Amino acid sequence: MTSLSSQERTVIQTLLELNYSVRAIARFIKRSPSTVSIEIHQVTPYKAEIAHALALKKHHLRGRHDTL
């Protein structure tokens, strides 16, 4: 799964404010409904800036870590 861009998160926030369904949002941004649903449930209430910062933090934590 590729991560969502900042612009996609902004579109999700806007469409949620306009009461679009998860499936309608997914169709609009050409992503899986499950991806959109997971994204929405990461931050409640959904704010694009907060969701993007959280995603960047999680991305930074992935990968190899130095050991002593």
Statement: residue 61 has pLDDT above 90: no
Q: Is residue 29 part of a domain?
A: yes
The pTM of this model reads 0.85
Q: Is residue 11 part of a domain?
A: yes
Going from the C-alpha of 9 to that of each of 6, 26, 54, 63, 64, the distances in angstroms are 5, 11, 12, 24, 27
Q: Is residue 64 part of a domain?
A: no
Structural domain range at position 36 = 6-57
* pLDDT tens digits, 6-47: 999 999 999 999 999 999 999 999 999 999 999 999 999 999
User: Which two structure tokens, joined as six digits, stand for 22?
Assistant: 């998860």
Number of domains in the chain: 1
* pLDDT (average), residues 41-58: 93
User: Which two structure tokens, joined as six digits, stand for 5?
Assistant: 């861009």
Q: Is residue 50 part of a domain?
A: yes
